[in-house]
Structure 1
Amino acid sequence: MTQSASGRRARPRIQRLAPLVLALLLGMGGFAAWRIEHAVPPPPQEQGKPRAPANRVRLEQDASQLAFLKLAAVSLAPLPASDPMNARLALAEDRTARIFPPLAGRILALKAAPGDTVVPGSPLAILDAPDFGQAIADLRKAQADATLKKKALARAQTLFEGEVLARRDLEAAQADARAADAEADRARLRLANLAPPGSPIEGQRLILRAPLGGVVVERQANPGTEVRPDAATPLFILSDLRHLWLDIDLPEQAAALARPGAAVNFTLEAFPDEIFSARIEQVGAMVDPATRRIPVRALVDNADGRLKPEMFARATLSQPSAATVIRLPVGALLTDGLTTRLFVQIGPREFERRQVRIARQDAEFAYLTPGSAIRPGDQVVVRGALLLASELAQGE
């Protein structure tokens, strides 16, 4: 009796809730239909754009990353046997002349300027030198005295043969003639040191001439300047710039690698993409106690004249059997554990990540193992490689 009564009371409640449930279900169905009808289609680039090949990144033309990228061409280089060392180009002293005036005087005229090419005997400057005039007078006086003594000897010889002159007087005349000849020779040699034989002599004007062929590297003279032979600075410095010296500061731990005749490779800031070569001529006999460096001198062929004295260089020693490998800046490398990668440009705004193996690396360059996937002339990213790596990671 009780159960049937409660059932009768529940039926009206269910009947009242049924319309609400039905309305809720109809509303949810309508909202789902509206979402399907008004759904936003995926962006066109996601629909039609093919997936980029693995390890490749292609940037849009207006991509902000392009402003931060820097490329450099890789090159071939012998595998070095040492880390880069500080070095400096210098004049080859055995092909250099520093010209001082042989006598005190005053400069009347200059005949050569810095940068001029001269040959042996070319005039450099004209001096008014009173001592030069005195040297000319001394020679003429000695020559006249020698001529007079020769005539006196001839007369003495004639008188001696006629038994008019004693032998003692003949021997005295012979001694006087020899002394006069010696004095004339001395005066002639002194004048020859001041002016080469055959040079025109005009009063006491002395012409300074080039003792060797080369280039006027420096000139410390002006017209009217008083000059002296004991001056601290030469008037001219001449040098044959077809050959230069490369002075290297060799660390003592690399002493076993340096020997006369060994090859040296060096780079210059003026020509960053080129590698120059030299041959060691001399290795210092001791280590500098202050710097712990050994002075090493190498001879550089500078036939084209591009290299200049006092240029700073970075030099490395090379073994005769060294392999020629790919050299690239260390800024191109991305290291992840034991793996080293870099990005190579393969097209406009398109880059490919490649794995490489390092044979030797220093603070400036990395040298790849033979058989690397990088080729000479490839453009690698040396700045901004992390941006490309991040872009590639997002695509993956």
Structure 2
Amino acid sequence: MADSTGKKKIIAAGVAVALLAGGTYGYYGYFHKPPASPAAAGHEGHGSAGAAAANGETVVLDANARQLAGVQTAQAETRNLVKEIRTTGKITLNETGRTYITSRVMGRVDELYISAEGQYITPGQAVAAIYSPDYIAAQEEYILAMDTVYKLRNASPDLIQVNQRLLEAARRKLELLGVSPADIAHLEHTRQAGAHMILRAQFGGTVLEKQILPGAYIMAGEKLYTLSDLSTVWLYADLYEKDIAAVQVGQEAAVTTTAWPGETFTGQVSFINPVLDDATRTVKVRIELNNGEGKLKPNMFASASLQAPLGDSLVIPVSGLLDTGRRKMVFIAQGEDSFVKRDVVTGQEAQGFVQILSGLDPGDTVVTAAAFLLDSQTQLGSFSSHAGHGSSNKKPAPSPAKQPGAAPSASGPAPSVPPANDHSGHAGH
């Protein structure tokens, strides 16, 4: 029995020695691997990538980097641009055609011949019958003057002349009261004063407002009707500050409305407000439109399009301009792989192009696609094809702190870990 127990102890000791030897060999082999070759370590697990570098405001891209960034270019050239300005507005009354019909006598309105708003009145049309003592007295004065001239037709020349002047004064009084020549002629024929004065319209137009009712007493000069000539109307449209310089008085405008789809009304700019609206940062522009058919109604919304010729100027595509708010820049191609940033002064934009007032010459090649990426590169500085990979100067991670009261390692202190190689962060290491 004693011999069997001793053999078991010898076998267990041998197994322990073998396990300790194997673990020591594996630990040493893991931390003492032969270093890989620099070429293999530098590119293991990586695909080919384009290279780029930035120096100040110049960016250099190889062919592969240009393809990946999608760089496109175009030449600065001279073009004849026409800028289209689109805006909206509201149809309003033509204020030059706005009038009032008033009475020149005091009296009572006994009858109205125009009783509803929206009716059209022609000049000279009868609109009301007014009972006026002033009108009756003026008629009697004229009749008396006519009788006096007839009765004293054989008197002395001086008296005839005085009577004639009195007749002319009486007739002039009727005219000043608004009596029409036809009504005066009728009075001369009948020699009978009428009880009512027929008020006739001094102007023509559409009745916008009726301010009188039958039976009302009126004073001389009181408004009876408000009229407007709707044969022409105005469109007030808003222009932004950037478009003010392109619009001039007399410029033609095309106007469309949702009420008449497919139909275009032609008008002309007749006035540009000299004051900018501080709330909307716009300027009111008045467009005068012919409205002979009456299709354009006041307070109707409309859209307007104005074509503003800008003339011949040096232009580039709008996509080639970088506007930071403080600077306006473009990238100029210098050779096949070099691009340099340049400040420019710009003008108007039209038809997908922007005017270049200074900073470029005709024939300069400008980057029109990926210009923003180039500008970002000048801000970030140069980069290589390994950007984003593990750092080549990584420090070994510190060993975990020893916990208070922890038991010491049975195997003694761990061997020192050799520093990682330059590409320890790459895939495959």
Query: What TM-score does the superposition give when structure 1 sets the normalisation length?
Result: 0.47
- Determine which structure has more spread, i.e. the larger CA radius of gyration: 2
Q: 1 or 2, which has the higher helix percentage?
A: 1
Query: What TM-score does the superposition give when structure 2 sets the normalisation length?
Result: 0.44
